[in-house]
Amino acid sequence: MKSFFACVALLLGLTAPSFAAVAGVSDTQIVIGQSAPLSGPAAQLGVRLRMGIEAYFQRVNAEGGVAGRTLKLVSLDDGYDPPRTVANTKSFIDGGKAFALLGYVGTPTTLAAKPLIDQAGIPLIGPFTGAMALRQPVDPFIFNIRASYDDETRKIVDQFLFLGLKKIAVFYQDDAYGMAGLSGVQKALAAHGLKPVATGTVQRNTVDVAAALRSILPAQPDLIVEIGTYTEVAAFNRQAIAQGYGGQFANVSFVGSEALARALGPQGNGVIITQVVPFPFSTVTPLVREYQEAMNAAGHKGDYDFTSLEGFIDAKVLVQALRKAGKNLTQAGLIDALNGMSDDNLGGFIVRFSPTNHAGSDFVDVTSITASGGFRH
């Protein structure tokens, strides 16, 4: 009789409907997907962002993970090329390979993936871009942690106008990222009744800046605001200085601060870069102390920078939301948990989300490169 009931139970178990598995989640692991440039002219942005994410994941995993599950980051190289970002995103979504997305890099790349993200309803946390197109209108699946390019460019413009310098030009990458930065400068200047005195562009993933120099330098600007990556900006600055330009250069954070400092060498002294995370070389804030400890433990002792700190912050926001979402994870539950992070203090860095606001921070700091290739603020 016992064997009869055992057989019945087995048959019922085989034929009973099973609940669908949650994409990227098992009893022991949560898989997170990242598309970023790991090769090509913008590679240092993706490499360093991934380094910070993995440092935090290693720290969490060493402490038992999230509700008993370890975190696994799967990073795919897109070379800062939108079609490759789309292909990577499809690979994460198709077949349920990733539970959530984290740390995508770039405006044109993230915008290209946005329709897939929206269609799948998969959350993307911490894209490395300040574009307003990813903030307004609010996308229910995209959670921005960094300040916007409007925030950064307003800080630059207001600071220089305060000093009495009014001739401001813009050198920008000729794509959605560059246009977002240009728009920010234009809005900041318009608030004071001003316009850029000149503009010049460069194509993404190239260093052909000759036309931009011809367009900008004759206007003799006091300040050139640069909206590009470190390779493009370094090429422009070196050639501008060689042609006699003696004014000020200022960049938004996406440029890749450390990579730019290395590329410019002594010519980088005094170049301004706005930052959207705390100063990673100081131990004033608990968050930065935690970051430094995690980087040291991950084998990157003393190898601190703004980009890896941003990756660390992105990962910490994700983990806090995963913990709030509970053990029975769903993507909808994670989104609800993120929307509930209305005033979360990460240790000196505040993140605020709500269903009507996915711009988690407006923090902007102003730094400049030193003669030795370091940073001051």
Cβ within 8 Å of residue 230, ≥6 positions away: 42, 44, 255, 256, 259, 260, 263
**Sequence ranges of the chain with CATH classification 3.40.50.2300:** 29-147+283-361, 149-275
- CA atoms of 172 and 251, how far apart (whole Å): 10
Instruction: Give 48's DSSP letter.
Output: H
Asked if 148 and 157 touch (Cβ cutoff 8 Å), the reply is no
- CA atoms of 275 and 253, how far apart (whole Å): 5
Q: SS3 for 9?
A: helix
Burial class (CB in 10 A: 0-12, 13-18, 19+), 284: exposed
- Residue 12: how many CB atoms within 10 A of its CB? 9
Q: What pLDDT is recorded for position 7?
A: 44
Q: What pLDDT is recorded for position 55?
A: 98
Q: Which CATH superfamily is domain 149-275 in?
A: Response regulator (3.40.50.2300)
Reported as a single tens digit per residue, the pLDDT across 59-95 is 999 999 999 999 999 999 999 999 999 999 999 999 8
- CA atoms of 111 and 197, how far apart (whole Å): 29
Q: What pLDDT is recorded for position 4?
A: 40
Global pTM value: 0.92
Of 104, 369, 128, the C-alpha closest to 234 is 369
Going from the C-alpha of 361 to that of each of 102, 143, 147, 188, 278, the distances in angstroms are 17, 10, 5, 19, 12
Q: SS3 for 203?
A: coil
CATH of 29-147+283-361, one of 3.90.950.20, 3.50.50.60, 3.40.50.300, 3.40.50.2300: 3.40.50.2300
180 φ, ψ (degrees, to nearest 5): -65, -45
- CA atoms of 323 and 360, how far apart (whole Å): 18
Instruction: Give 175's DSSP letter.
Output: S
Q: Which residues of the chain are under the pLDDT cut of 70?
A: 1-20
- CA atoms of 377 and 371, how far apart (whole Å): 14
Burial class (CB in 10 A: 0-12, 13-18, 19+), 149: buried
Asked if 238 and 264 touch (Cβ cutoff 8 Å), the reply is yes
Cβ within 8 Å of residue 214, ≥6 positions away: 200
